Chains A and B, each alone.
Chain A
């Protein structure tokens, strides 16, 4: 059996969505999300999301890359395979800088991409909003605000009324097929 995941309001342009997000937050809604076909500056903050810790992780990745890259060269050239080339000292650190730079950039970039994907909870093939019939346009030309049923302030009738007050194109119910329903589904079919 499908449960109600939330109510989805559809807008034609980003401005009304930005306005709707602001009003929903002011009305006390917290469990909600907005969906748009391109990034909208400041929308995540309007919805009450805190800034991401991603840049800090990238910094850590860069430090690990730099220390690791230099350490690798130091171990190789000074400890494990000491070999004098061009009359330079064994720890000829200026010659180690280019590779240290490259490994710093490499690890910072890898961290950025992996952290972005992981913090976003991707890959995630199933999400309830995909059940909404018009949601395919969220990646093309429509802007959505979804107020979720788990929010303490959520009430099917009142929330619908609130959303309709924001003059959206449509307000649709988003169904959620819980794990339980999915497990029972094959049995029902047989």
Chain B
């Protein structure tokens, strides 16, 4: 009895860790974060990880080259399943990006100070996830070199894109999202690039960071405009991030396919996106903080809070699954009812039940303090959710398309090796960029952590 009490106390103490370990100073946090980048020797583990990621990326190069040469026929796509893995992966990657914007923009507006030491990393993750996502619509075009036809531009054919189509909305949503995320990330980096310029000892390194910092000197008026800009970008990104996955969901919802044609899709997709995004942040940040000993900056409190957000968004997702079933039954529409029945027992039923296990059952562990305080359990839950969210998109895209109205037009889709090579390749692209990012740019926002130190130590006069 006594021992279980102390275990409980230890768990509670761990979850209540402050967002920044005690005893940190401006110098200590600056040194800790900048040295990951400025260290002369690259850790061996970095090379191992980067090599693996880069090998996968080379697979993408080969896969994309072969695809451009032969056409989309090398994939398993067929009629009626014209979307296949390409669209599954696209939706999965875009969703992952959403956690970055949520952390950097929405949590900033809500003044959640725990976002400070994870926002830079999460924003980088957003950028790289959008880059990986962007591959798929382009490659899926078949003739990727005509991608610019999606943009309205004066052309000799006198043609215009169909602005009433959600697929064209997607072009605008994704490109705006990518660009605004890049701006947000770069603006956040400027003061830290100045710190890197001032700390670098090698002449060339100094010049490169100096050019990127644009002569930032931390003047009071500069900071004033800077903070205005940062807040405005956060306020603009907040509805933007909601719009992006809503528009992605409209690609489906405006279609008449049973299982797609639902008004519930935008909020269902947005919460799924945040769910999968937080799972990916946890998947990456738990090993990262261990590898670089960043436990003083990314504490158990951060992991605990992220796990709670996963629990909330995961519950919304599960609620959406139940509503999907309810609507199908209540609509009295036999095609809608069949679409759900087909998920339960059709050719893709094992994937559907695996999805339910991953997204509905496993995350229930997060209700318990004990599991949220345990990095290993959290990491495994996050990994499982990543898989689950991928399976969810597979179920939505493939299961719905494979059996729509007429049994004569049904078919079964099996991904080919090229489907998998290209999917693995985008994981390689994503991870390679993350490895390069960690080595070249401070992965935690130094100036915001310094601000946090000042606040914690009561070093500021408040007006």
> In whole angstroms, how far apart are the Cα atoms of A77 and B305 in the complex?
47
The yes or no answer to B405 lying at the interface (CB within 8 A) is no
Are B224 and A49 in touch, CB under 8 angstroms?
yes
**Residue in B27, B214, B222, B461 whose CB lies within 8 Å of A15:** B461
Given the complex, which residues of A lie within 8 Å of B169, measured CB to CB?
98-99, 102
Given the complex, which residues of A lie within 8 Å of B224, measured CB to CB?
39, 43-45, 49, 51-52
Query: Which of chain A's residues 64-109 have a Cβ closer than 8 Å to chain B?
Result: 72-73, 76-77, 80-81, 83, 85-86, 88, 92, 95-96, 98-99, 101-103, 105-106, 108-109
**Residue in B176, B250, B447, B448 whose CB lies within 8 Å of A106:** B176
The yes or no answer to A130 lying at the interface (CB within 8 A) is yes
B152, B162, B215, B220 interface centre (most CB from chain A within 10 Å):
B220
Are A18 and B214 in touch, CB under 8 angstroms?
no
Task: Output the least CB separation between B228 and chain A (Å).
Answer: 5
Query: Which of chain B's residues 268-321 have a Cβ closer than 8 Å to chain A?
Result: none
The yes or no answer to A13 lying at the interface (CB within 8 A) is yes
Given the complex, which residues of A lie within 8 Å of B117, measured CB to CB?
none
Are A19 and B461 in touch, CB under 8 angstroms?
yes
The yes or no answer to A1 lying at the interface (CB within 8 A) is no
Task: Output the least CB separation between B31 and chain A (Å).
Answer: 9
Per DSSP, are chain B's interface residues mostly helix, strand or loop, or mixed? helix
The yes or no answer to B219 lying at the interface (CB within 8 A) is yes
Are A103 and B225 in touch, CB under 8 angstroms?
no
Known A98-B169, A141-B26; judge A113-B198 contact (CB<8 A). Answer: no
> In whole angstroms, how far apart are the Cα atoms of A77 and B160 in the complex?
8
- Looking at A115-123, A153-161, A180-188, the stretch in contact with chain B turns out to be A115-123
The yes or no answer to A58 lying at the interface (CB within 8 A) is yes
Are A136 and B198 in touch, CB under 8 angstroms?
yes
Are A37 and B214 in touch, CB under 8 angstroms?
no
> In whole angstroms, how far apart are the Cα atoms of A77 and B69 in the complex?
35
The yes or no answer to A54 lying at the interface (CB within 8 A) is yes
Size category of the B interface is: 35 or more
Are B159 and A81 in touch, CB under 8 angstroms?
yes
Residue-wise interface mask of B (219-232) relative to A, using a CB-CB cutoff of 8 A (1 in contact, 0 not) = 11111111111001
Known A55-B228, A140-B199; judge A109-B183 contact (CB<8 A). Answer: yes
The yes or no answer to B462 lying at the interface (CB within 8 A) is yes
Are B221 and A44 in touch, CB under 8 angstroms?
yes
Known A33-B220, A52-B224; judge A140-B27 contact (CB<8 A). Answer: yes
The yes or no answer to B179 lying at the interface (CB within 8 A) is yes
A-B contact count (CB 8 A): 210
Query: Which of chain A's residues 43-64 have a Cβ closer than 8 Å to chain B?
Result: 43-45, 47, 49, 51-52, 54-55, 58
The yes or no answer to A35 lying at the interface (CB within 8 A) is yes
Known A141-B25, A141-B27; judge A36-B461 contact (CB<8 A). Answer: no
Are A122 and B214 in touch, CB under 8 angstroms?
yes
The yes or no answer to A7 lying at the interface (CB within 8 A) is no
Are A14 and B460 in touch, CB under 8 angstroms?
yes
Are B233 and A112 in touch, CB under 8 angstroms?
yes
Given the complex, which residues of A lie within 8 Å of B454, measured CB to CB?
13-14, 38
**Residue in A33, A34, A92, A125 whose CB lies within 8 Å of B215:** A125
Given the complex, which residues of B lie within 8 Å of A122, measured CB to CB?
214-216, 222
Given the complex, which residues of B lie within 8 Å of A105, measured CB to CB?
176, 180, 236-237, 239-240, 243
**Residue in B160, B217, B221, B227 whose CB lies within 8 Å of A127:** B217
Given the complex, which residues of B lie within 8 Å of A86, measured CB to CB?
164
> In whole angstroms, how far apart are the Cα atoms of A55 and B227 in the complex?
11
> In whole angstroms, how far apart are the Cα atoms of A47 and B222 in the complex?
12
Are B218 and A76 in touch, CB under 8 angstroms?
no
The yes or no answer to B427 lying at the interface (CB within 8 A) is no
Are A37 and B187 in touch, CB under 8 angstroms?
no
Are B164 and A43 in touch, CB under 8 angstroms?
no
Considering only CB atoms, which chain B residue lies closest to A125 in the complex?
B215
Known A76-B152, A103-B176, A140-B195; judge A35-B214 contact (CB<8 A). Answer: no
Task: Output the least CB separation between B105 and chain A (Å).
Answer: 11
Given the complex, which residues of A lie within 8 Å of B197, measured CB to CB?
139
The yes or no answer to A2 lying at the interface (CB within 8 A) is no
**Residue in A43, A58, A73, A140 whose CB lies within 8 Å of B198:** A140
Are A55 and B176 in touch, CB under 8 angstroms?
no
Are B183 and A49 in touch, CB under 8 angstroms?
no
Task: Output the least CB separation between A176 and chain B (Å).
Answer: 14
Are A139 and B198 in touch, CB under 8 angstroms?
yes
Are B218 and A35 in touch, CB under 8 angstroms?
yes
> In whole angstroms, how far apart are the Cα atoms of A35 and B220 in the complex?
6
The yes or no answer to A150 lying at the interface (CB within 8 A) is no
Are A116 and B194 in touch, CB under 8 angstroms?
no
Task: Output the least CB separation between A110 and chain B (Å).
Answer: 7
The yes or no answer to A169 lying at the interface (CB within 8 A) is no
A-B contact pairs, 12 of them (CB 8 A): A21-B220, A38-B454, A52-B224, A76-B163, A80-B158, A96-B163, A96-B164, A103-B176, A105-B243, A110-B179, A139-B217, A141-B30
12 more A-B residue pairs beyond the given contacts A120-B226, A139-B218, A140-B30, with a C-beta to C-beta distance below 8 A: A15-B460, A19-B461, A39-B226, A40-B460, A52-B221, A55-B232, A81-B158, A98-B173, A109-B233, A113-B183, A119-B225, A139-B197
Which residues in A have some Cβ–Cβ distance to B below 8 Å? 13-15, 18-19, 21, 33-45, 47, 49, 51-52, 54-55, 58, 72-73, 76-77, 80-81, 83, 85-86, 88, 92, 95-96, 98-99, 101-103, 105-106, 108-110, 112-113, 115-117, 119-120, 122-127, 129-130, 135-141
